[in-house]
Each structure stands twice: as C-alpha cells, then as structure tokens.
Amino acid sequence: MRVGSHRYRGRVTERSADPEWLIGGREARPVVIADPDPAWPDRFAVERARIAAALPDVRSIEHVGSTSVPGLAAKPIIDIIVVPAGPIDDAVAPLEAAGYVLRVREADHRMLRTPARDVHVHLWSDAGEVRRHLLFRDWLREDAADRERYAAVKRELATREWGDMNDYADAKSPVITEITARAEAWAAATGRRYPPAP
C-alpha cells in the first residue's frame, strides 16, 4: 500500500509502508556533519579506480554530494554517480563483486554502498537526475553564500533524531529546491551544459 512519497535529494518517488525499495529496511543512525576534510577527494579517487576496474566500459564516474565541494561541511560519506555503458541493472552485479552492497532499488535508481557505509554509489537511468546532481555540485563550488546556507541547514538538521537517514534527506528538500533554482538560473545565464547520460 502506498502511503506517501520518498524525496531522495530533492526528487519525489513512491514510498510504501514497507519500503521494498530500501533493501535491509530503515536505519536509525545519528547524522554527523563533519568539517571539510581535504582527504575526501583522495578517497573518491580510490573508489573511482575500484569502480572503473569493475566497469571497464563505464561512461563517467563523478564525485557528487557535499564531500565533492571544497569548504563544505558534510556527512563523511563519499557520493558517486556512475553512468554505465548499458542499463543500470547490468552494472549492479559487477559492483557487488567489487565489494559494494545494494541498498536502494527504485524504478530509475540503484544505490550501492561500502559495508562501512562511507561510500554511496548511485546509478541513474534518468539523465535529468545526473545533470541535476552535477549542477548542484558545480553551483555550490561556485557560490560561497549558498555553500554556507546549505551547511547551516545541515548542521541544524543534524541536531534532531531521525528514524532513518532518508528522513534527514527528505528534510533537506526545501533548501535543495531553493538552491537548485539559483543553480538553474546560473546555468542559463552562463550557457552551462552537461552531456546527457544514455
């Protein structure tokens, strides 16, 4: 039975009372927002090499999320978008063989993570979602005011208790929507373009 919606980083999808899209069920964990760490890009580079070895024909591997933005406080989790050469489901087994564990199975999205839960690998079949994440990252790299605004909202939300990490992500949706509007205006004004995913 459908009882609402799941907003994953600003995008609404179906949510059910028994979240079959969330493999392993809900997780109540504290949200920790860490100061910017110069080691995050190096950690991404390690994971990028691991993913490229598992998917030799991959189209792109991008560091996204707050750890990809210099100077931005973040949960110490490396978010990565992978655009495989074929259907996203074809990339799941090779990534599992490389040690990642499937956590989210939505209609156009798969998310795998490390057993330590400190790296999230996202596969999207929706080119618009790939573009949105890259644009959001690039705008936050560009604009100090929105970087600070986003960090402040995350730090405030981290003081609350959450029944699941996805509930924390849901709570960020209003500020993400607000910042994304400015990012879209910036992209339009500068003619910024992103290549479409297959």
| Residue of 87, 93, 177, 183 lying closest to 126 (CA atoms) | 87
pLDDT tens track for 93-116? 999 999 999 999 999 999 999 999
Q: Say yes or no to pLDDT of 125 above 80.
A: yes
What pLDDT is recorded for position 3?
25
Question: Phi and psi for 189 in degrees, rounded to 5?
Answer: -70, -30
CA–CA distance, 139 with 182 (Å, rounded to integer): 8
CA 120 to chain centre: 7
Measured between alpha carbons, how far apart are the two ends of the chain, in Å? 32
- Cα-only R_g, the chain: 16
pLDDT tens track for 19-38? 678 787 777 678 899 999 99
pTM: 0.86
Contact 61, 45 (CB under 8 A): no
CA 142 to chain centre: 19
CA–CA distance, 135 with 180 (Å, rounded to integer): 8
Structure-block tokens of residue 88: 């996203």
Structure-block tokens of residue 77: 């989790």
Please name the fold of domain 22-190: Beta Polymerase; domain 2 (3.30.460)
